[in-house]
Amino acid sequence: MNIGIDMRMAGTRHGGIGRYAFEITKHILEQDAANNYVLFFSHGLSDKTDVDFFSRFPNTRILMSRARHYSFAEQTSFLRLLNRQNLDLVHFPNFNAPILYKRPFVVTIHDMVHHKLGGAKTSHALHFWAYQKVMFAAAKNSKRIITVSEVSKTDIHEVLNITPAKIEVIYEGPTLNPAVHKDYAERVKKQYLLHNPYFLFVGVLERKKNLVNLTRGFDIFLKKYKLNMDLVIAGKPDRNAPEIPHHAMDILNRDRLVFTGYVEDRELAALYAGAYAYANASPFEGFGLPGVEAMQFGLPLVVANTPVFNEIYDDAALYFNPADVNDIGEKMHLLARDRQFYQQVQKHSLERGKLFDWKDTAKKTLEVYYKVNGEKI
Handedness of CA 335, 341, 347, 352 (dihedral sign): negative
Residues 350/278, Cβ–Cβ less than 8 Å? no
For residue 343, tell me if it sits in a domain: yes
For residue 31, tell me if it sits in a domain: yes
Residues 220, 311: one domain? Answer: yes
Instruction: Return the pLDDT at 159.
Output: 92
Instruction: Return the pLDDT at 118.
Output: 55
Residues 349, 365: one domain? Answer: no
C-alpha 186: how far from chain center: 27
- Half-sphere exposure of 235 toward its Cβ, with a 13 Å CA cutoff? 22
Which secondary-structure segment (H or E) carries 65?
strand 60-65
For residue 262, tell me if it sits in a domain: yes
Residues 18, 80: one domain? Answer: yes
Measured between alpha carbons, how far is 108 from 101 in angstroms, rounded to an integer?
A: 16
Residues 249, 161: one domain? Answer: no
Residues 61, 140: one domain? Answer: yes
For residue 90, tell me if it sits in a domain: yes
Residues in the chain, overall count:
377
What is the 3-state composition of the chain as percent helix, strand, coil, each rounded to the nearest 5? Answer: 50, 15, 35
Compute the chain's Rg from CA coordinates. 21
Residues 237, 161: one domain? Answer: no
Instruction: Return the pLDDT at 120.
Output: 46
User: 368: domain CATH number?
Assistant: 3.40.50.2000
Instruction: Return the pLDDT at 133.
Output: 82
Instruction: Return the pLDDT at 123.
Output: 47
Residues 105, 237: one domain? Answer: no
Residue type, 328: I
For residue 377, tell me if it sits in a domain: no
Closest of 16, 6, 53, 10 to residue 205, by C-alpha: 16
Q: What is the pLDDT along the chain (377 residues), one digit of tens a residue?
A: 999 999 999 887 666 788 899 999 999 999 999 999 999 999 888 889 999 999 999 999 999 999 988 889 999 999 999 999 999 999 999 889 999 999 999 999 999 887 766 544 444 666 667 778 888 999 999 999 999 999 999 999 999 999 999 999 999 999 898 998 889 999 999 999 999 999 999 999 998 899 999 999 999 999 999 999 999 999 999 888 889 999 999 999 999 999 999 999 999 999 999 999 999 999 999 999 999 999 999 999 999 999 999 999 999 999 999 999 999 999 999 999 999 999 999 999 999 999 999 999 999 999 999 999 887 66
Residues 226, 321: one domain? Answer: yes
Residues 204, 166: one domain? Answer: no
Residues 145, 231: one domain? Answer: no
* Range(s) of the domain holding residue 76: 2-173+357-372
Strand partners, 325: none
Measured between alpha carbons, how far is 370 from 363 in angstroms, rounded to an integer?
A: 11
Number of folded domains that form the chain: 2
Measured between alpha carbons, how far is 377 from 100 in angstroms, rounded to an integer?
A: 29
Contacts of 139 (CB under 8 A, 6+ apart): 95, 107, 109, 145, 156, 160, 162
Which secondary-structure segment (H or E) carries 232?
strand 230-234
Residues 84, 150: one domain? Answer: yes
Measured between alpha carbons, how far is 353 from 295 in angstroms, rounded to an integer?
A: 5
The answer to pTM > 0.85 is yes
Residues 263, 361: one domain? Answer: no
Residues 9/69, Cβ–Cβ less than 8 Å? yes
Instruction: Return the pLDDT at 17.
Output: 86
Query: What are the Cα distances from residue 212, in Å, to 239, 244, 295, 343?
Result: 17, 7, 24, 28
**If phi over 0 gives left and psi between -120 and 50 gives alpha, with beta otherwise, what is residue 371?**
alpha
